[in-house]
């Protein structure tokens, strides 16, 4: 409220008027009442300008967001805009437009990210992207489905029968298969069912940390098993294992060192050597490669390891297999059944959406990660050249460069994949990450490299628009 050219808070104005009128008894009664009414109106003026919640929610423009996002998210956004109206930051008649502008695009806080980092299986970006077949399967299964129901007999059916049948078909050497919710869970279930209060023999060179501070020894000992470390960091031979076998041995564990490489004076007992020593052999291959792959000749695969004599294999589903997060268990029928029937298996089982995505990944076309792994270098270079040319036409400092990609995600350590990238100023890296969709590259030598190996050709146009948008925002910030 403005009084004599000065802004005065309504509450203060009311107080001053009342105190003054209380002292000035000679002021006529009707003038006194008029001043009191004006003070009251001034006090309520801000609240009278704020549109009611029910009025805003009833606006036709908000009906689609109410269906898509739900009443709770829309109502919270309305209340935030009302607070801005009270503070004078938003005009009352623009409240609905302000709500529409502030509403999130989706109900999840997660955002789509284009992986231009050059790491095919980027753990921080969710590892393997699902195939279109897997996404369709998830959509079909998201409603009511025959998860544990036999439609022919009308009776209870085997949970995950489709995914399990597909996994068994993909690993012919496996007598039995089972699925749990992640790779670490597969190993924990094996240790709990086969070695609780017993010993697990493992090489010192395979006592790995699997990420985010989780270490294999801690994981295994949490099951009640005791670890019997043998050999040395760089050399563990067959005799180290045989000397350690005794009445308390639960099994021998071999762990693929999936995120590091030891070179030089090294030795490791093979699965074939260990297969005949008189104790079950469990092999954690990690990456989820089911069959040999020509691009990754040194990466262990489930089929070969089982044929070499392993009793049980554990692996992850969201790495080289290219499926959803899951733990794969394959091997001797009696051992797999022992794990499946263990009480802990109930707590580690996977949901219907994961089962559907896994079945589609195993039965459908090659997963995206396999396409990226086998991408033609000439095609990548051509794409990078075209993308850089398009950006240059818009005045962006961009050019194509050769690049080196990696598999990542705890798979194929040391393997370098020749690739191609578009180089743009490093100053754009943050703006690209904050854009919609976000684009994550890598910064090298004061340049941001956008590697194309883990992107589909259809993504190139989206990356182009993202870079142009980042340049525009950067220019606005400078202005």
- Cβ atoms 384, 97 nearer than 8 A: no
Instruction: Give the torsion through C-alpha atoms of 159, 162, 164, 166, to 10 deg.
Output: 180
**pLDDT number for residue 37:** 59
Determine how many CB atoms are found less than 10 A away from the CB of residue 139: 11
- Cβ atoms 10, 40 nearer than 8 A: no
Say how many domains are in the chain.
Answer: 4
**pLDDT number for residue 12:** 47
**pLDDT number for residue 476:** 79
Tell me: do 183 and 285 sit in the same domain. yes
CATH of the domain at 437: 3.90.1150.180
- Sequential DSSP letters for 296-341: -TTS--HHHHHHTT-SEEEEESSSTT-SSS-EEEEE-HHHHHHHHT
Tell me: do 160 and 171 sit in the same domain. yes
**pLDDT number for residue 39:** 52
**pLDDT number for residue 2:** 43
Per-residue pLDDT of the chain (479 residues; tens, 9 = 90+): 444 444 444 444 445 455 554 554 555 665 556 555 555 554 455 556 799 999 999 999 999 999 999 999 999 999 999 999 998 889 988 999 999 999 988 777 788 999 999 999 999 999 999 999 999 999 999 999 999 999 999 999 999 999 999 999 999 999 999 999 999 999 999 999 999 999 999 999 988 877 667 888 999 999 999 999 999 988 999 999 999 999 999 999 999 876 667 777 888 999 999 998 999 999 999 899 999 999 999 899 999 999 999 999 999 999 999 999 999 999 999 999 999 999 999 999 999 999 999 999 999 999 999 999 999 999 999 999 999 999 999 999 999 999 999 998 878 888 899 999 999 999 999 999 999 899 999 999 999 999 999 999 999 999 999 999 999 888 877 76
Tell me: do 198 and 330 sit in the same domain. yes
Tell me: do 380 and 399 sit in the same domain. yes
Tell me: do 103 and 252 sit in the same domain. no
Last residue of a domain, one of 317, 343, 362: 362
Tell me: do 312 and 380 sit in the same domain. no
Element (H, E) at 21: helix 10-23
- Cβ atoms 361, 131 nearer than 8 A: yes
Query: Residue 469 sits in which domain range?
Result: 113-121+371-478
Tell me: do 252 and 401 sit in the same domain. no
Tell me: do 378 and 423 sit in the same domain. yes
- Cβ atoms 225, 282 nearer than 8 A: no
**pLDDT number for residue 283:** 97
Closest-CA residue to 111 (of 437, 379, 398): 437
Tell me: do 38 and 60 sit in the same domain. no
- Cβ atoms 77, 103 nearer than 8 A: yes
Please tell me the pTM assigned to this model: 0.82
Tell me: do 233 and 345 sit in the same domain. yes
**pLDDT number for residue 84:** 93
Determine how many CB atoms are found less than 10 A away from the CB of residue 63: 12
Last residue of a domain, one of 340, 362, 384: 362
Closest-CA residue to 349 (of 369, 326, 330, 371): 326
- Provide the pairing of β-strand 214-215 with 209-211: antiparallel
CA distances from 180 to 176, 185, 276 (A): 14, 7, 28
CATH of the domain at 266: 3.40.640.10
Tell me: do 63 and 180 sit in the same domain. no
Tell me: do 28 and 100 sit in the same domain. no
């Amino acid at each position: 409220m403005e009084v004599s050219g000065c802004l005065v808070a309504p509450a203060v104005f009311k107080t001053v008027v009342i105190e003054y009128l209380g002292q000035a008894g000679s002021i006529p009664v009707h003038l006194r009442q008029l001043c009191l009414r004006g003070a009251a109106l001034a006090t309520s003026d801000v609240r009278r300008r704020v549109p009611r919640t029910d009025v805003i929610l009833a606006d036709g423009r908000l009906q689609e967001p109410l269906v898509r996002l739900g009443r709770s998210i829309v109502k919270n956004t309305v209340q935030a805009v009302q607070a801005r109206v009270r503070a004078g930051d938003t005009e009352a008649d623009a409240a609905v437009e302000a709500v529409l502008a502030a509403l999130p695009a989706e109900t999840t806080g997660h955002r789509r990210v284009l992986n231009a980092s050059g790491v095919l299986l980027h753990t921080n970006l969710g590892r393997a992207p699902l195939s279109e077949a897997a996404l369709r399967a998830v959509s079909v299964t998201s409603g009511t489905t025959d998860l544990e129901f036999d439609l022919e007999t009308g009776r209870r059916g085997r949970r995950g029968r489709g995914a399990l049948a597909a996994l068994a078909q993909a690993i012919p050497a496996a007598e039995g298969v089972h699925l749990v919710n992640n790779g670490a869970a597969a190993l924990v279930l094996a240790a709990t069912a086969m070695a609780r209060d017993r010993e697990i023999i493992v090489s010192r060179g395979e006592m790995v940390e699997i990420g985010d501070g989780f270490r294999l020894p801690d994981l295994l000992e949490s099951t009640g098993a005791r670890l019997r470390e043998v050999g040395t960091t760089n050399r563990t031979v067959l005799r180290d294992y045989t000397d350690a076998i005794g009445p308390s041995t639960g099994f021998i564990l071999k762990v693929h060192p999936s995120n590091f490489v030891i070179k030089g004076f090294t030795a490791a007992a093979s699965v074939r050597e260990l297969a005949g020593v008189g104790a079950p052999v469990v092999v954690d291959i990690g990456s989820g490669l089911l069959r040999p792959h020509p691009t990754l000749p040194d990466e262990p695969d489930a089929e070969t390891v089982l044929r070499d004599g392993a009793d049980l294999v554990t692996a992850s589903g969201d790495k080289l297999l290219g499926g959803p997060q899951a733990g794969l268990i394959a091997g001797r029928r009696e051992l797999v059944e022992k794990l499946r029937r263990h009480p802990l298996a109930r707590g580690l089982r996977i949901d219907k959406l994961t089962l559907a995505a896994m079945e589609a990944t195993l039965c459908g076309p090659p997963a995206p990660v396999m396409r990226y792994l086998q991408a033609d270098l000439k095609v990548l270079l051509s794409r990078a050249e075209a993308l850089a040319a398009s950006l240059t036409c818009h005045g962006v400092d961009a050019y194509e460069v050769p690049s080196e990609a990696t598999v990542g995600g705890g798979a194929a350590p040391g393997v370098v994949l020749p690739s191609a990238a578009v180089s743009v100023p490093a100053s754009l890296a943050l703006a690209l990450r904050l854009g919609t969709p976000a684009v994550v590259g890598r910064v090298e030598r004061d340049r941001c490299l956008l590697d194309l190996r883990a992107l589909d050709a259809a993504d190139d146009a989206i990356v182009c628009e993202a870079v142009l948008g980042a340049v525009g925002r950067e220019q606005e910030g400078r202005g």
